[in-house]
Structure 1
Amino acid sequence: MKVLSDVVQSIINVGPSVMLPIIIFIVGLIFRVKPGKALTSGITVGIGMIGINLVINLLTTSVGPAAQAMVKRFGFHLTIIDAGWPAVSAGTWAQPISAIMIPIILVVNVGLILLNLTKTLDIDIWNYWHMIAAAATAYVVTKNWWFAILCGIIYEIAVLIIADKTAPKVAEFYGLDGISFPTGSAAAYGLLGIPIGWVVSKIPGIRKWDVDPQTIQKRFGVFGEPMVMGIVIGMLLAALGGYSVPNILKLGMSMGGVMFLMPRMVKILMEGLIPIQEGAQKLLQEKYGNRKIYLGMDAALSTGSPATLATGLLMVPITLFLAIILPGNRVLPFGDLATIPFFAALIVPSRKGNIVHSVLSATIVMVFALLMATDFGPTLTSMMHGIVAFPKGASEVTNLDTGGNILNWLILKLSQLVQPLFN
């Protein structure tokens, strides 16, 4: 098992910019795309992913310190620290159940496609860790391999269903035709956020607040440009963090750069995916008529939308404020603050890019997320104990990506319910 785990981890460590071109090339050949075209598509996707990762790195390294500065400036005192998804991911991969879950996830996905029970072919293997985290949660609670594997499969099926159901909105809003988002965190936040958003849009008065990037640009001219919106939001975050004027301007320009560059990076990646998607649809039409298939990709592609980025960035100070005032919350948001834009990936399209409705919906979702993350604290602390270094002053650790994820939380509750059966 250790050998298998080491092999899997070495593949994961290569990174998407190397592995994605290989996967896209193989998938292209399976869908009868000419080898030369499949190779070019794979390389283009890899280059697009390099660009996206560069911009995401700019986003996280800029917003992360600003969020940490806010925490320090306002003197928040909460006992469970949000360690962020990288720490929880490390804890997940260290569980004995993790190595065997990769092939199981692949086999289940292909089987569901062959049985026409899903349309999503999840090629985003780096985010398989979300499904593995569900299995690891069940294993930590029950110590039963078979139940843990079952929980991982249940989580996978739930994510694939959500990805299938939301793919039409992803195509309509983001322009990503033939793409779905089977990213565990985005799917879980969407599962709550989409119906909540529908309710928000029906509230008298609020329902008339139609504020999307196009409306802002129309009303405010140059000040409504996405990159200018990014600059304003970045400066707001820096000001809340107590930055000096030069650093406020610097963070503002960084966020303006993210808003400007991300759509262009996504466009490059999509240029590579189009031939593969066309080949897949052609093959499926020959064999199954009008059956459609979606390529499951990282929800990070959603940050090519100014509305999604704006919603996510505005949620950073809102989440910190909620953590202070919310009764029953013990979580200090920290590590996952910079990744909140990815949580909004499916919420924003359901609101047609309306930033006000999206922020209100995400705020309500975050109330539940903080409480679930609080409840998840002991289990995630146990999972990560001795594997990752705990932040200074933390008695327990959790995170918003996994601990605040309703799908994982339901797996936790199910595991705790059946745990006496395995004693």
Structure 2
Amino acid sequence: MDWNNVVQAILGVGSQVLIPILIIILGLIFGMKPSKAILSGLYLATGFIGMSMAINQLTTAVSPAAKALATHTSINLPAVDFGWPGAAAITWAWPMAFVFFAVEIIINLVMLLANLTKTLNADMWNVWGIALTAYMVYSISGSLPWAFVAAGIQIIISLKLGDMWAEEIKTDFGLVGVTTTHIEAFTATIMFPVNWVMNYIPVFNKKWDARDLKKKIGILSEPVVMGAIIGLILASAGRYSVGDALNLAVTVGAVMAIFPPMAKFFMDALTPFGTTMSNFMKKHVKGREFVIGLDWPILGQSTELWVTMVLMIPISIIYAAILPGNKVLPIAGVINYCIGVGGLLLTGGNLLRMIVLGIIYEPLFLYGATYFSGVFTKLATSTGAAKVPKGSEVTWSSIEAPDLRFLMAQAGRLNWLAIVGLIILLSLFVLLYQYMKKNPLPGKRYEKLEKKGANSEVSAK
């Protein structure tokens, strides 16, 4: 039996089928009634499919605007951005990719048994991201054993991310017993120092989430209105005609309004599942708490998430035009989930902080995409998964954890600066983990800072 073909056939159904099936199976194990387990799985599938349709519609609408903006700014960059779908396709074509299912499961089970994590990762479709890291490290360092070590480091980080965000996701999003283990959220690590500095700047400690903005600016804070305004800005930058500009405005506004209702299906699916799992653990595993790790779209109800990511589109295009040495124009990966998800969880939905952090850290992703363009091109051509014209390159403009992957790849070459950099980055992650475990609800923390600032102003008067 060709196990590679078997795995490819299973993966071919997509995350919208694979993950709900896993949730149904886990639900039955934890004692859910078959009818409720199946309903949870189907609602979860509905959430993933609905979110995917909305994201695809958003990408389809804004990509031409991004191209038009690039055309009018005379940007001509050689590396073609094929986004995460292209990256996933060529990674699954790598013959060794399916091995990392076993690596993921073994490390997760060992950590659970050793009480080193409370997260059981069910987001198995995204194992391709772990396999991609292994290929990148192997391609650059030439060391296959180190590639497996690097993959293991990413798995451990993902599980600890799940532990770190669980309380915030339960409190701020109403999702019990689940968390996100996606490596996209690792961006919070490099954002952490700047976000810490923001604690001492009064303007960043005010309430900047969508709910509070609604009290201040009324209708302008509605997702459909904010989306329409952003759409008009993108259309104007791309010099659209009036009709096309209005069309884009309406489309972006509609998609922004659709995200929260689509995200409700995640709550309908995961609330009964989380409650059942929690009751099971309290009964059979006393003193232990477990959460299920899932993909980032479970956070899709956040208006701040989408506002930040869409606002970053023209900013990323401008960066692409002006950054020296950059080779990629953001098109397929123009919506940077890493900045959105990492910023959302780190700041608790503080929109001003999220946008400023996005502006500061966007260049990292473009330079990461530029650096790894040769690796992506090599993988695409060697597997035959994508046709790359001679003299051209492919890459991913919003590549996940470019700092971590770069440092691990270079460390495998015994680059001492990279080894030191990797130690510093992992140490910073440990600091972030400890900080967030002590302060699991950043939104509440900023409320205290705001009150502190207000009291200081009163004292000064």
TM-score, normalised relative to structure 1:
0.90
| Structure 2 partner of 1:333 | 330
Mapped pair 1:302 → 2:299: yes
**Closer, same or farther: CA 26–106 of 1 in aligned 2, 3 Å:** same
On the 8 A contact 2:214/2:222 being kept in 1, the answer is: yes
Q: Which residue of 2 aligns with 1:38?
A: 37
- 1:111 correspondence with 2:101: no
Aligned 8 A contact 2:43 2:266 in 1: yes
Alignment match of 2:310 (pick from 313, 320, 340): 313
Residue in 2 that maps onto 1:381? 377
Change (3 A) 1:274 1:15: same
Q: What one-letter code is carried by the residue in structure 2 that aligns with 1:365? A: Y
Aligned to 1:189: 187
SS state of the match for residue 331, structure 2?
coil
Q: Is residue 402–residue 408 contact of structure 1 (8 Å, CA) maintained in 2? A: no
Match of 1:295, SS state, is: strand
Code of the aligned partner of 2:296: A
- 1:97 and 1:145 in contact (8 A); partners too: no
**Aligned-partner residue type, residue 106 of structure 1:** I
Trace 1:17-166 onto structure 2 (pairs within 5 A).
Answer: 17-166=16-165
Give the letter for the 2:158 counterpart. Answer: V
How far the C-alpha of 1:365 sits from its partner, in A, is 1.7
Query: Equivalents in 2 of 1:124, 1:403: separation in Å?
Result: 16
Task: Determine which structure has greater relative contact order: mean sequence separation of CA pairs < 8 Å that are 6+ residues apart, divided by chain length.
Answer: 1
Aligned equivalent of 1:360, options 356, 360, 365: 356
Q: Which residue of 1 aligns with 2:341?
A: 345
Corresponding residue pairs, total:
415
Q: Decide whether aligned partners of structure 1 residues 233 and 341 sit closer, same or farther in structure 2, where only a CA change above 3 A counts.
A: farther
1:279 maps to amino acid: T
Cα shift readout 1:145-183 (whole Å, capped 9, x = no counterpart): 433222211111112112211222233333333322211
Q: Give the C-alpha shift of residue 129 in structure 1.
A: 1.2
Residue 317 of structure 1: how far off its partner (Å):
0.8
Number of the residue aligned with 2:443 = none
Counterpart AA for 1:45: L
In the superposition, relative to structure 1, how do residues 368 and 149 fare at CA in structure 2: closer, same or farther (>3 Å)? Answer: same
Cα displacement string for residues 262-314 of structure 1 (whole angstroms, at most 9, x for unaligned residues):
11111112211122211221122223334222221111232321111000101
Kindly state the Cα deviation for residue 201 of structure 1 after the two structures are TM-superposed. Answer: 4.0
Aligned AA (1:40): L
Q: Give the aligned CA root-mean-square deviation in angstroms.
A: 2.5
TM-score computed with the length of structure 2 as normaliser: 0.83
Structure 1, unaligned runs of 5 or more: 419-423
CA distance in 2, matches of 1:390, 1:416: 30
Distance 1:128 1:255 in 2: 31
Q: Is the alpha carbon distance of 1:83 and 1:416 closer, same or farther for their aligned partners in structure 2, counting shifts above 3 Å?
A: farther
Question: Displacement of 1:143 after TM fit?
Answer: 4.7
Cα distance in 2 for partners of 1:311, 1:95 equals: 34
The letter of the residue matching 1:195 is P
> Does 288-297 or 229-238 show the bigger shift?
288-297
Contact 1:188-1:405 at 8 Å conserved across structures = no
Letter in structure 2 aligned against 1:384 = A
Task: Return the letter of the residue paired with 2:344.
Answer: V
Name the CA distance, whole Å, in 2 between partners of 1:405 and 1:12: 25
Against the structure 1 CA distance between its residues 337 and 383, is the aligned structure 2 distance closer, same or farther, given a 3 Å change threshold?
Answer: same
* In structure 2, C-alpha distance between the alignment counterparts of 1:378 and 1:178, rounded to whole Å: 41
CA contact (8 A) 1:336 1:400 kept: yes
Instruction: Check 1:211–1:37 CA distance in 2 against 1; reply closer, same or farther (3 A cut).
Output: closer
For the residue of structure 1 that corresponds to 2:196, the secondary structure is helix
Moved more, 302-311 or 167-176: 167-176
Contact 1:97/1:135 (8 A) holds in 2:
no
Deviation per residue, 1:51-73 (Å, 9 max, x gap): 22222222222222222222223
Structure 1 residues 280-291: aligned runs within 5 Å: 280-291=277-288
Contact 2:141 2:409 in 1 (8 A): no
> Is contact 1:313–1:341 with CA below 8 Å preserved after alignment?
no
3-state SS in 1 of match to 2:12: helix
Displacement, 1:341? 3.9
CA contact (8 A) 1:210 1:356 kept: no
